[in-house]
Amino acid sequence: MVNLSRTTLRGFAAVGALAGFAAMALPNAQAAQTSSTNTTAAVASTPPVDSTAKVMSPPPAGDLLTTKSSLTNVVRYNRLYKTGAITPSKCKEVNVSLRTSAGVQAYVSQLDRCIYAAWALPLKQAGAAYKVAPKLIFTTSYKVNSPCGLDTTGRAFMCAAGGKSYIYFPVTPVINYWKQNPTFARAYASFTIAHEYGHHVQWLTGILNASWQRQYGFSTSAAQLEESRRRELQASCLGTAVLGSNKRYYPWSGGLMTQLNNVVSNSGDQPGYPRDHGSLKNHAFWSTMGFNAKHSYTVAGNCNTFNASSAYVA
Ligand SMILES: [Zn+2]
Containing structural domain, residue 229: 6-19+27-313
Tell me the CA–centroid distance for residue 196 and ligand 1, in Å.
Answer: 6
Q: Give the strands of the sheet with 135-139, arranged side by side.
A: 54-55, 157-161, 164-170, 135-139
Residues with CB under 5 A from ligand 1 (ion): 50, 232, 235
pTM for the full predicted model: 0.87
Asked if residue 38 is part of any domain, the answer here is yes
Domain membership of residue 308 (yes or no) is yes
User: How far does residue 278's CA lie from ligand 1's centre (Å)?
Assistant: 11
Q: What is the pLDDT along the chain (314 residues), one digit of tens a residue?
A: 333 333 333 332 333 333 333 335 676 544 444 433 333 333 347 889 999 888 888 898 887 777 778 999 999 999 999 999 999 999 999 999 999 999 999 999 999 999 999 999 999 999 999 999 999 999 999 999 999 999 999 999 999 999 999 999 999 999 999 999 999 999 999 999 999 999 999 999 999 999 999 999 999 999 999 999 999 999 999 999 999 999 999 989 899 999 999 999 999 999 888 999 999 999 999 999 999 877 789 999 999 999 999 999 99
**Contact present, 83 and 242 (Cβ < 8 Å):** no
Instruction: Give a yes or no: residue 222 inside a domain.
Output: yes
The residues, any chain, with a CB within 8 Å of residue 305's CB and separated by 6 or more, are 229, 230, 231, 233, 234, 237, 286, 312, 313
Residue 135 forms part of a structural domain: yes
90 C-alpha to center of ligand 1: Å? 25
Q: Report if residue 215 sits inside a domain.
A: yes
The answer to whether position 294 is within a domain reads yes
